[in-house]
Structure 1
Amino acid sequence: METRASYILVGSFVLSLLAGLLVFTVWIAKVQLEESRQPYRIYFTGSVTGLQQGSPVRYRGVPVGTVSDIRLDPDNVTRVRVTILVQNGTPIMSDSIASLEVQGITGGAYVQISGGTVEADRLTATDRDGIPVIPSRTSSLTAVVDTAPQLLNRALEVITRLGELMNGDNQKAIGEILGNVRDISADLARATAGLEGTMAQAQTTLKGFESVGPQLDRTLAQAQGTLTTINGSARQLTGDSRELIQSLRKTSGELAALLAENRQPVHDFATTGLYDLSLLISQLRDLSGQLSRVVTRIENDPSNFLFGGTRQGVEVRGK
């Protein structure tokens, strides 16, 4: 009886578990059936390595759907046609852009939808079968996949050139360069030793300057006093110069006032007085000449000049 009772208990538990699992499955299916999704189509021109059916679709990082189909475009073999299912109500705008991104460093690929502004309209461009088409752009995954062979070829080229660089002649030249560096280091060491001696001599010279310091201070004090005297003299000279300039300005003003008051007499003198003065000078010059002749006659024959001559001329008689 106890064994039969345990079997009944275990069977009841299993049946209850199966019933609960069935209810959960029906609930999940109901949720998925109630959740309507909008299909969209994306055409990628590069590689879609890592992308598979069921990969997530994210809009600005928020999961909004999954990838439902991946295949080559039958009309253009250079493109890959990807069909996604996005939750109904997701704001896919006309300026939204789809790209293929990678989850982490070694994770799988997913579809990232970015862009979209409030001012833009909802996406209306559709494929031939009426499914809206989201524009795509080159993703970082495609850039890495496309540039990997080039990077590998360049790395191999660099390695080859390094191998060519390390030939026998270049190794010998590098050895000579290292030897020269060694010699230069030795010369620098010797120069450093000589520099220490020079520094010692410089210290000795500086100690000799210590005794000259007091005399130099006195000389500087005398020079400072001389400069102070010169400064005072310069200030006094500046003051005298200012007084002289003020006197000249005053004199110039007085002369200007004098000329203004006597402008008409000066003008009359310049017009008529100068002419009369020139005539007077000419007459005085003539008078001076006559006086000179008179003085000469007096010196030569004073009696003749004073009393007249005693000689008589020849009388001329008429016939």
Structure 2
Amino acid sequence: METRASYILVGSFVLALVAGLLVFTAWVAKVQLDESRETYRIYFNGSVTGLQQGSPVRYRGVPVGTVSDIRLDPENVTRVRVTVLVQNGTPIMADSIASLELQGITGGAYVQISGGAAGGKRLTATDADGVLTIPSRPSSLTAVVDSAPQLVNRALEVVTRLGDLLNGENQKAIGEILANVRTLSAELARAGAGLEETMDQARRTLSGLDGVGPQLNRTLEQARGTLATVDGSARQLTGDTRELMRTLKRTSDTLNALADENREPVRDFTATGLYELTLLITQLRDLSGQLSRVVTRIENDPSNFLFGGTRQGVEVRGK
């Protein structure tokens, strides 16, 4: 009896779940039926890899519809005709433009509609079937797909050049370079050891200079005192020099004034007194000569000069 009651409970739950699922499906279908959409055409000149029926259509990143059909343009096989269904009320203007974009890391593509200024004109351009047509532009997806062969060719070229670079001779040269680098590293290591020893000597030298610091400070203080003394002496000497220059200027002014006052007597002296002075000097020279001769006579024979030239002999008496 208990087993039968459990079956009834499970069956009732399953029936309720199925009924709820049917109601939800009917509600979603009703919403989709009530939602009216407008058809647009987009013509792409490049590849539409990754785009498929049911891919989203976004206006400035907001989902507004889906892709309903993808096929080659029967009138121009170099481009792809994409038909999209967009919700009514989407502001697709005359200057709106469509492009293909990649979504996330899944690699899928979607249609991105951008542009359209507020207050602009609504889109009115149509194709041969009378369906509104949105202009397109090359997208980043197209650029990637178009540049992929070039990237592959460049990668192959780089690989080929690397193969040519790593030939036997270059490998030998690279080996020699590595050996030289190893030798240089060893030399640098030895030089580093010598550098450490030099640094130790420099530290010891600096330690020895610690005691010199106070003496150097005292020497600097004495030098400052000497410079201060020299500066004071220089200032005093400068003052004395200025006073001497002022004294010399006053002396010069006095001499100039004296010369101006005695210009006439000097002129008279040079005219007549100088001649008389010359005669006086000549007479004094003669007098000096005569005095010199007199002095010579006195020195040679003073008695003859004093008592005259008469000489009498000494009387000699006989025995």
Q: TM-score range by the shorter chain?
A: 0.5 to 0.7
Return closer, same or farther for 1:91/1:235 CA change in 2, 3 Å cut-off: farther
Deviations 1:152-185 (A, max 9, x none): 2222221221121111101110111111111111
Letter in 1 for 2:169: D
Deviation at 1:226, TM superposition (A): 3.7
Spell out, residue by residue over 1:127-148, the C-alpha distance to the aligned partner (whole angstroms, 9 max, x if none): 2222222121222221221122
Q: Tell me what 1:161 maps to.
A: 161
Q: Which residue of 2 aligns with 1:210?
A: 210
Q: Using the TM superposition, give the Cα deviation of residue 62 of structure 1 relative to its aligned residue in structure 2, in angstroms.
A: 1.4
The structural deviation recorded for 1:19 is: 11
In structure 1, the partner of 2:250 is none
Residue in 1 that maps onto 2:65: 65
The whole-number CA distance in structure 2 between the counterparts of 1:135 and 1:18 is 46
Tell me which residue corresponds to 2:221. 221
Asked if residue 37 in structure 1 is aligned to residue 37 in structure 2, the reply is yes
* Structure 1 segment 237-252 matched on structure 2, within 5 A: none
Match in the other structure for 1:314: none
Q: Which residue of 1 aligns with 2:91?
A: 91
Distance change in 2, residues 1:54/1:189 (3 Å): closer
Q: Deviations over 1:263-315 (max 9, x none)?
A: xxxxxxxxxxxxxxxxxxxxx9xxx9xx98xx99xx9xxxxxxxxxxxxxxxx
Which deviates further from its counterpart, 86-95 or 191-200?
191-200
Name the residue aligned to 1:74.
74
Secondary structure at 2:78 match in 1? strand
Q: C-alpha separation between the residues in 2 aligned to 1:151 and 1:18? A: 57
* Rg comparison, structure with higher value: 2
1:197 aligned partner: 197
In structure 2, the CA distance between the partners of 1:232 and 1:100, relative to structure 1 (3 Å rule), is farther
Give the distance between the partners of 2:210 and 2:19, measured in 1 at CA: 108
Please state if 1:112 is matched with 2:108: no
The residue type equivalent to 2:58 in the other structure is R
Cα distance in 1 between the residues matched to 2:83 and 2:61: 19
The residue that corresponds to 2:148 in the other structure is: 148
1:252 aligned partner? none
Name the counterpart of 1:248: none
What is the rounded CA distance, in whole Å, between the counterparts of 2:232 and 2:77 in structure 1?
Answer: 101
The TM-score with structure 1 as length reference comes to 0.64
- CA distance in 2 between partners of 1:201 and 1:37 (Å): 90
C-alpha separation between the residues in 1 aligned to 2:235 and 2:72? 100
Identity across the alignment (%): 73
SS at match of 1:81: strand
- C-alpha change, 1:237 and 1:142, in structure 2 (3 Å) is farther
Further displaced range: 181-190 or 30-39 = 30-39
Distance 1:50 1:69 in 2: 14
SS in 1 for 2:158: helix
Q: Where in structure 2 are there 5+ consecutive unaligned residues?
A: 244-263, 280-319
**84-93 or 141-150: bigger deviation:** 141-150
Question: Measured at CA, do residues 47 and 211 of structure 1 come closer, stay the same or move farther in structure 2, by a change above 3 Å?
Answer: same
Cα separation, 1, equivalents of 2:235 and 2:144:
83
Query: Which residue of structure 2 lines up, in the alignment, with residue 179 of structure 1?
Result: 179
Alignment RMSD (CA, Å): 3.9
**How many corresponding residue pairs?**
242
Counterpart of 2:286 in structure 1 is none
Residue 189 of structure 1 and its aligned partner are, at CA, apart by 2.0
CA offset at residue 219 of structure 1?
1.0
Measure, in 2, the Cα distance between the counterparts of 1:233 and 1:93: 97
